[in-house]
Amino acid sequence: MNIGPRKYLVVPGKVISKNDGEEHYVSGRELIGLYGVDASQCIIGSREHVTGLKAGYITLRPDPTGKYELPHEPNGIERALKEIKNGR
């Protein structure tokens, strides 16, 4: 399976929000937007459904706290700099 430069495995699903206590379904597209990653670098699915997937992909899942920061960005600094650069 040739998946090129993709580095994120996006796993949509249900989450109970710590903000309102409600259950929400967060889609793959929503997760990509919430984490602020490039969709072309993502595989949407689950580890069980993606055959031939090599280890080392960063898994992005719904976060009940609502804090969508990449694991290697403890304070979201990289994303903030990217948004400044893109004028957002």
Q: Among 54, 55, 46, which Cα is nearest to 13's?
A: 46
- Report how far residue 81's alpha carbon sits from residue 88's, in angstroms, rounded to the nearest whole number: 10
Query: How large is the average pLDDT for residues 44-61?
Result: 72
Q: Among 42, 73, 34, 74, which Cα is nearest to 59's?
A: 42
pLDDT score at 8? 87
pLDDT score at 56? 73
Higher-confidence residue: 79 or 16? Answer: 16
Query: How large is the average pLDDT for residues 59-74?
Result: 81
- Report how far residue 68's alpha carbon sits from residue 50's, in angstroms, rounded to the nearest whole number: 23
Token reading at 32: 């990509």
pLDDT bin (cut points 50, 70, 90) of residue 2 is very low
Q: Tell me the pLDDT tens digit for each residue of 4-51.
A: 577 888 989 999 988 889 999 999 999 999 999 999 999 888 766 665
